[in-house]
Amino acid sequence: MTTKEITMDNSRGLDGAASIAMLVQIASRFNSRIYIESGKARANAKSIMGMMNLTLSGGETLRVCADGTDERSAVAKLEEYMLGKAEA
């Protein structure tokens, strides 16, 4: 299992439908099980409804957890997206 804590840029929250949909699309490209944790809440990163329930704001620290054959690549790509370094 690969786990990484990420503090999102203050200007980049994931509280809009479009940004969450893109995160779900990115996560869905990987075979690994991927979860996003915020505080005590946890959601499957491949589930649009689960992710929308998290309401992730800019400046927030969250944890990305992935388990599977491509877990490191999955975490790295999601980190790039959440930090605004890559669109997809």
Query: For residue range 47-63, what is the model confidence (pLDDT) as tens digits?
Result: 999 998 987 777 888 99
Q: Report whether pLDDT(15) > 90.
A: no
How far, in Å, CA of 65 to CA of 28, rounded? Answer: 14
Overall pTM > 0.85: yes
**For residues 65 and 3, is the Cβ–Cβ distance under 8 A?**
yes
pLDDT for residue 82: 86
**For residues 3 and 64, is the Cβ–Cβ distance under 8 A?**
yes
Helix or strand (DSSP H, E) at 66: strand 61-67
Which CATH architecture describes the domain 2-82? 2-Layer Sandwich (3.30)
Do strands 2-7 and 61-67 pair parallel, antiparallel, or not at all (unpaired)?
Answer: antiparallel
Structural domain spans, the chain = 2-82
Q: In what order do the strands lie in the sheet with 2-7?
A: 2-7, 61-67, 33-38, 41-44
